[in-house]
């Protein structure tokens, strides 16, 4: 034991950067610790009926999956992710400058394909491959969790099948969800019929909806008849939904603010989303305006997960007290949720691991995100970081950076091209409904080929001009 401790001490002295980094992690977590919370989207107070579960496997892999999962729950995940990699690229340039002086730019420029390849590979991995995410635990005996906003690949921008949507909702603790394809519902009605006839598994419970692209996006919930909403006026669609016994919620109005809140109240909508994906209504004034409008006009609040198939995480749930949920038949389950919404008995809860409002300046987001990420870890996640750091300190890496510079883009490009092929094949049965699968397939093909070519070019340059590295 004494010998091992002596070796660790020597490693700490020999690896000051690693030592400082580990000390920073522990310091941030100890001094500024803020545990992950489930909060009420309206009052912003902590909800005690829910907790977050992390599997042992998830905690063991914390340094690998933790930061990607944190970024997937960001308010603006794509923009914040891009800014993070710009920071990484500039930091690498500064490191090379301090190490090599003014000749740093040669290796810095050669690193561009590797940086882009790594960033793109991690992004594709985050979106499409399963990552062991944090899971909400509902500790109530009678409350159910449901979602009012979701899309499969029968929407133009959906990535997954209805069956995969069911798996995602189960993984994230939902008891039920409305499938709200863009502007049509025949496929959804067929899915609901299959579940009602026990041709599909019974959980989670599926209900028919539509996301209508009118003057603002609206979720049409509880539909019983076929409805196509392309090009229709708000007034016509809202009247038809009410005729079917359904309800209308304005989706993510705060992100764009088309027309006024009062306009939609006068149009006969039944409620507003107060959360969409991972983002509360913003800024604070808009948040309060929606709350006041709903309270004064007897309208419900909604939390729309708005899931299209991007990554495993979830940021919001709707809650309703429905005793003996599992004993109800299919029709009664849908009725209970619709009645609860109409009576405003539901609550909206949010996964909270950072500030609730977007960044005023997104260029400082990497610094704030890193601090928020480390302050929210538990003791086992901290130990995972320290453990992996110690393991890496004992591994002798041969400094062959020129191989890294060309192999990262080549390998990343190859994997991305393979994923592109899968997406293109997946688009075939829904080509009349879906745009994004084929678009992503074509884009990933071009990006992947570009990375492979750039990796080969870097290899040829470093082989021809030894002084470059």
What's the mean pLDDT in 265-269?
97
Mean pLDDT score across all residues of the chain: 92
Tokens 């000390």 found at? 23
User: Rounded distance, CA 161 to CA 168, Å?
Assistant: 11
- Whether residue 216 has pLDDT greater than 90: yes
What's the mean pLDDT in 248-270?
94
Which is higher by pLDDT, 177 or 8? 177
**Count of Cβ atoms closer than 10 Å to residue 403 Cβ:** 13
CB 253 within 8 A of CB 216: yes
Q: Quick check: is 54 in a domain? A: no
Burial grade of 49 (CB within 10 A; 0-12, 13-18, 19 or more):
middle
User: Rounded distance, CA 136 to CA 163, Å?
Assistant: 21
Model's pTM, two decimal places? Answer: 0.92
- Whether residue 4 has pLDDT greater than 90: no
What's the mean pLDDT in 270-278?
96
Full residue range of the structural domain in which residue 203 is found: 136-352
- Whether residue 393 has pLDDT greater than 60: yes
Helix (H) or strand (E) run with residue 232 in it: none
Report how many domains make up the chain. Answer: 1
Give the bridge partners for 144, in sequence order. 320
Q: Quick check: is 438 in a domain? A: no
3-state secondary structure of 95: helix
What's the mean pLDDT in 234-251?
97
User: Rounded distance, CA 309 to CA 74, Å?
Assistant: 16
For 16-30, 81-95, 311-325, which range has the lowest pLDDT when averaged over its residues? 16-30
For 161-175, 350-364, 412-426, which range has the lowest pLDDT when averaged over its residues? 350-364
What integer pLDDT is reported at residue 8 of this predicted model? 58
pLDDT in tens, 364-390: 999 999 999 999 999 999 999 999 988
Q: Quick check: is 198 in a domain? A: yes
| Percent of the chain at pLDDT exceeding 70 | 94
What integer pLDDT is reported at residue 467 of this predicted model? 66
Q: Which residues contact 6 (CB under 8 A, 6 or more apart)?
A: none
Q: Quick check: is 378 in a domain? A: no
Q: Quick check: is 176 in a domain? A: yes
Q: Among residues 232, 217, 227, 369, which one has the least CA distance to residue 302? A: 217
**Count of Cβ atoms closer than 10 Å to residue 231 Cβ:** 8
Q: Quick check: is 86 in a domain? A: no
CB 142 within 8 A of CB 432: no
What's 314's domain CATH number?
Answer: 3.20.20.140
Q: Among residues 276, 284, 355, 353, which one has the least CA distance to residue 318? A: 276
Q: Quick check: is 57 in a domain? A: no
Q: Which residues contact 379 (CB under 8 A, 6 or more apart)?
A: none
Q: Which residues contact 163 (CB under 8 A, 6 or more apart)?
A: 200
Q: Quick check: is 200 in a domain? A: yes
pLDDT in tens, 112-154: 999 999 999 999 999 998 788 899 999 999 999 999 999 999 9
What's the mean pLDDT in 218-229?
97
- Whether residue 399 has pLDDT greater than 60: no
């Amino acid at each position: 034991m004494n010998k091992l401790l002596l070796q660790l001490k020597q490693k700490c002295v020999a690896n000051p950067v690693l030592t400082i980094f580990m000390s920073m992690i522990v310091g941030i977590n100890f001094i500024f610790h803020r545990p992950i919370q489930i909060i009420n989207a309206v009052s912003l107070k902590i909800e005690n009926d829910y907790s977050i579960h992390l599997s042992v496997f998830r905690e063991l892999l914390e340094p690998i999956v933790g930061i990607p999962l944190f970024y997937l729950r960001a308010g603006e995940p794509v923009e914040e992710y891009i800014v993070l990699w710009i920071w990484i690229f500039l930091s690498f340039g500064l490191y090379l400058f301090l190490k090599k002086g003014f000749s740093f730019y040669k290796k810095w420029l050669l690193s561009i394909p590797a940086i882009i390849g790594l960033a793109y590979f991690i992004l594709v991995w985050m979106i499409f491959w399963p990552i062991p995410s944090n899971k909400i635990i509902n500790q109530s005996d009678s409350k159910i969790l449901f979602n009012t906003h979701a899309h499969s690949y029968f929407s133009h921008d959906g990535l997954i099948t209805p069956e995969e949507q069911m798996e995602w909702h189960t993984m994230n603790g939902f008891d039920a969800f409305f499938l709200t394809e863009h502007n049509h519902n025949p496929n959804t009605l067929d899915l609901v019929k299959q579940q009602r006839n026990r041709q599909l598994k019974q959980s989670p419970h599926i209900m028919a909806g539509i996301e209508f692209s009118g003057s603002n996006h609206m979720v049409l919930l509880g539909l019983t008849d076929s409805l196509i909403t392309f090009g229709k006026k708000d007034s016509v669609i809202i009247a038809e939904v009410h005729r079917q016994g359904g309800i209308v919620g304005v989706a993510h109005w705060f992100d764009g603010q088309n027309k006024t809140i009062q306009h939609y109240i006068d149009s006969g909508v039944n409620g507003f989303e107060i959360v969409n994906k991972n983002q509360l209504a913003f800024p604070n004034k808009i948040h309060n305006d929606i709350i006041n409008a709903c309270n004064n006009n007897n309208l419900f609040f909604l939390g729309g997960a708005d899931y299209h198939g991007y990554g495993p995480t979830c940021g919001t749930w709707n809650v309703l007290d429905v005793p003996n949920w599992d004993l109800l038949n299919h029709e009664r389950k849908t009725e209970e949720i619709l009645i609860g919404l109409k009576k405003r008995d539901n609550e909206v809860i949010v996964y909270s691991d950072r500030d609730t409002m977007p960044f005023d300046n997104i260029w400082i987001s990497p610094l704030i995100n890193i601090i928020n990420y480390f302050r929210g870890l538990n003791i086992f996640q901290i130990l995972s970081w320290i453990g992996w750091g110690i393991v890496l300190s004992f591994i002798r890496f041969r400094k062959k950076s020129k191989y890294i510079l060309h192999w990262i883009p080549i390998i990343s490009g190859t994997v991305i091209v393979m994923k592109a092929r899968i997406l293109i094949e997946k688009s075939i049965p829904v080509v009349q409904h879906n745009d994004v699968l084929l678009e992503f397939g074509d884009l990933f093909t071009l990006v992947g080929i570009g990375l492979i070519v750039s990796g080969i070019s870097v290899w040829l340059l470093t082989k021809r001009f030894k002084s470059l590295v």
